[in-house]
């Protein structure tokens, strides 16, 4: 009986031990199988690549990108005993007033953004501060009552976006253009809207963001070793211009003064190397701050050198004359009847400002006779005239470096067979052109009959400052070299004896042609005018084509009193800056 009871006790003991062991195994199995949020042993750091810069020919950054960061902290993890220390240190490192920091921490519990617009340099300082704050236990661990896990969150400095900066304000706007902001997965990116910013969006935009993945230390900072992986960031390409900022600023200041003096709506000027097409200056009196565009700036946002199309007036006489001369249809010394300043073609009465009885064909250009060029133009067929205007680049794109060009228009060849259309087109009415098209056309006379395309962009620069050159475009032979040389002499005579005398500069070869045209409004000519002067300024080694447009000057309707003085002032500035050296014998 005693042995039986003893056996039962032993059996019960073994049963309990076995049951306990089974329970232990079950718990261990559940622990192994149960999914748990273990802290990762690896971490990742990302850095956004930047948009490229726009740089002047003399090395100044006209448009650049500034990274912005935000500072985020979770108030639950700040040690109450060290809160004041955190506030003071963050204030010192960020530049924010300590009272503003304190107000933000007290206003919101939990995740709090202390600042959204921290510059990159301050962000680097704040990242170092974040590391030190953890090291000195300013932040404390907290246990999640739901999961039972212990976590620690400190000060986080996170890239929030980028801002486009224009260190020289209004300089070279609206050629540079402007940008707007767009969201990219919570990150503020910059996109071009107008000007160079828009035209070269694909080249300027960031290519590849940087990232690093690897083991983390106790403070969650990445450890760079054999187990880590880094992908290098690739920024957008920089754009280097042919335009030096020193010359651009002086020209713009002159235009501002002349706009006020002439009481004009706008004055524009383009200065281009006649042999290469490199644009040294492309300036307007109407500019804006890209960072602060107001409603009053809307009319200035367009690149009017290509977006403002107008009837060019008498500057077209030179083009018409060169087509006639190139085909051997006239001789510069042929006599033309001036009809004493009034001449009828069909139903159209053509008048001249100055009355002439007879004048030579070349003096038709020198003294800008509408009657003279209207008669000479009749020697051209409609197709010859039309094809000639096309060859000179009218109604076609003038440059590859800007967007939204208004290419203007020329009368069709059939219309140009009509004597009235032919007459009015010969002196620049009934057609439209922009400033860049005009200087492109006039480069022919200063480049042995070949036409160059205006080049604002010199090259692109990559991450390693390697230069990516832009190939030169072909220079088509528009007229014979001998024709161009003859017309060039006539343009020089126009400055020495004719309507362009105020452009004369001692020691330089100056030539050009004036133009004045009525403004068309609702299909009718109104009593307002645009004036133009297109020509060249050369010294012993350099040749420049220069075009000036004055929109609606109130002081005078004559180009000789508006556009020509602007041209002369620009040449004087080029001499001061060393771009032209007069050959003056003392």
- The pLDDT-based confidence of 42 (bands split at 50, 70, 90) is low
Whose structure tokens read 């100044």?
Answer: 60
Neighbour tally for 184: CB within 10 Å: 11
Position 5 scores a pLDDT of: 65
Is residue 221 scored above 80 in pLDDT?
no
What are the Cα distances from residue 93, in Å, to 68, 115, 159, 439?
A: 16, 12, 17, 54
Taking residues 5-18, report their average pLDDT: 71
Is residue 8 scored above 80 in pLDDT?
no
Taking residues 133-148, report their average pLDDT: 81
- Per-residue tokens: 300: 């200035």
Contacts of 563 (CB under 8 A, 6+ apart): 514, 515, 531, 532, 533, 548, 549, 550
Residue 328 region, left (φ>0) first, then alpha (ψ -120 to 50), else beta? left
Taking residues 177-201, report their average pLDDT: 91
pLDDT in tens, 388-427: 999 999 999 999 999 999 999 999 999 999 999 999 999 9
* Averaged pLDDT score across all residues of the chain: 90
- The pLDDT-based confidence of 149 (bands split at 50, 70, 90) is confident
Neighbour tally for 460: CB within 10 Å: 19
What DSSP character marks residue 278?
A: B
Taking residues 271-293, report their average pLDDT: 96
Peptide bond into 174 cis (omega under 30): yes
pLDDT in tens, 349-380: 999 988 889 999 999 999 999 999 999 999 99
Nearest to 130 by CA among 72, 216, 46: 72
More confidently predicted of 347 and 509: 509
More confidently predicted of 542 and 48: 542
Position 240 scores a pLDDT of: 97
Nearest to 162 by CA among 211, 205, 100: 205
Is residue 22 scored above 80 in pLDDT?
no
What are the Cα distances from residue 537, in Å, to 270, 366, 455?
A: 12, 17, 18
Is residue 222 scored above 90 in pLDDT?
no
Is residue 153 scored above 80 in pLDDT?
yes
Break the chain down into helix, strand, coil percent, rounded to 5.
35, 25, 35
pLDDT in tens, 463-494: 888 999 998 899 999 999 999 999 999 999 99
SS3 call for 511 = strand
Is residue 38 scored above 50 in pLDDT?
no
SS3 call for 533 = strand
Sign of the torsion formed by the C-alpha atoms of 458, 459, 460 and 462: negative
Residues 420, 172: Cα–Cα separation, whole Å: 41
Position 37 scores a pLDDT of: 46
Which region among 207-221, 298-312, 390-404, 554-568 has the lowest average model confidence (pLDDT)? 207-221
Domains located in the chain, CATH noted: 50-94+102-168+200-216+228-241 (3.90.1310), 245-457+475-576 (3.40.710.10)
């Amino acid at each position: 009986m005693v042995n039986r009871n003893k056996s039962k006790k032993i059996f019960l003991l073994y049963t309990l031990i076995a049951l306990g062991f089974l329970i232990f195994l079950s718990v261990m199995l559940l622990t192994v199988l149960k999914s748990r949020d273990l802290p990762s042993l690896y971490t990742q750091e990302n850095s956004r690549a930047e948009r490229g810069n726009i740089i002047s020919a003399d090395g100044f950054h006209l448009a650049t990108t500034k990274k912005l960061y935000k500072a985020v902290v979770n108030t639950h993890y700040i040690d109450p005993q060290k809160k004041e220390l955190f506030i003071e240190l963050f204030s010192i490192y960020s530049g924010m007033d300590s009272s503003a920091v304190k107000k933000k921490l007290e206003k919101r519990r939990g995740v709090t953004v202390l600042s959204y617009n921290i510059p990159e340099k301050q962000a680097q300082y704040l990242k170092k501060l974040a590391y030190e704050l953890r090291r000195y236990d300013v932040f404390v661990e907290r246990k999640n009552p739901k999961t039972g896990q212990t976590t620690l969150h400190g000060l986080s400095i996170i890239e929030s976006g980028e801002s486009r900066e224009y260190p020289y304000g209004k300089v070279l706007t609206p050629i540079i253009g402007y940008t707007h902001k767009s969201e990219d997965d919570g990150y503020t990116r910059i996109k071009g809207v107008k000007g160079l910013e828009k035209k070269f969006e694909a080249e300027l935009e960031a290519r590849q963001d940087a990232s690093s993945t690897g083991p983390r230390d106790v403070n969650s900072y990445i450890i760079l070793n054999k187990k880590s992986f880094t992908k290098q960031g690739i920024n957008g390409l920089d754009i280097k211009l042919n335009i030096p900022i020193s010359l651009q600023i002086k020209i713009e200041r002159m235009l501002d003064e002349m706009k006020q003096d002439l009481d004009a709506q706008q004055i524009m000027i383009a200065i281009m190397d006649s042999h290469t097409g490199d644009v040294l200056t492309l300036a307007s009196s109407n500019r804006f701050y890209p960072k602060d565009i107001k409603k009053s700036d809307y009319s200035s946002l367009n690149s009017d050198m290509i977006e403002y199309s107008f009837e060019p007036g008498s500057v077209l006489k030179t083009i018409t004359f060169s087509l006639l001369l190139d085909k051997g249809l006239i001789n510069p010394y042929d006599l033309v009847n001036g009809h004493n300043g009034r001449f009828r073609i069909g139903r159209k009465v053509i008048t001249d400002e100055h009355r002439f009885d007879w004048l030579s064909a070349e003096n038709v250009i020198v003294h800008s006779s509408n009657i003279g060029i209207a008669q000479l133009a009749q020697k051209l067929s409609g197709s010859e005239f039309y094809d000639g205007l096309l060859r000179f680049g009218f109604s076609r794109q003038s440059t590859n470096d800007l967007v939204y060009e208004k290419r203007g228009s020329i009368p069709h060849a059939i219309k140009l067979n009509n004597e009235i259309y032919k007459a009015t087109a010969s002196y620049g009415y009934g057609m439209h052109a922009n400033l860049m098209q005009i200087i492109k056309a006039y480069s022919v006379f200063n480049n042995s009959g070949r036409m160059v395309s205006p080049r604002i962009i010199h090259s692109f620069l990559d991450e390693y400052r390697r230069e990516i050159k832009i190939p030169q475009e072909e220079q088509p032979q528009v007229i014979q070299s001998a024709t161009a040389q003859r017309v060039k002499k006539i343009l020089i005579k126009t400055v020495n004896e004719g309507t362009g005398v105020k452009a004369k500069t001692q020691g330089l070869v100056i030539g050009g042609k004036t133009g004045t045209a009525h403004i068309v409004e609702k299909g009718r000519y109104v009593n307002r005018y645009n004036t133009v002067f297109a020509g060249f300024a050369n010294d012993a080694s350099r040749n420049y084509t220069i075009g000036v447009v004055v929109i609606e000057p109130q002081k005078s309707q004559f180009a000789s009193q508006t556009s020509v003085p602007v041209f002369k002032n620009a040449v004087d500035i080029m001499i001061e800056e060393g771009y032209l050296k007069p050959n003056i014998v003392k």
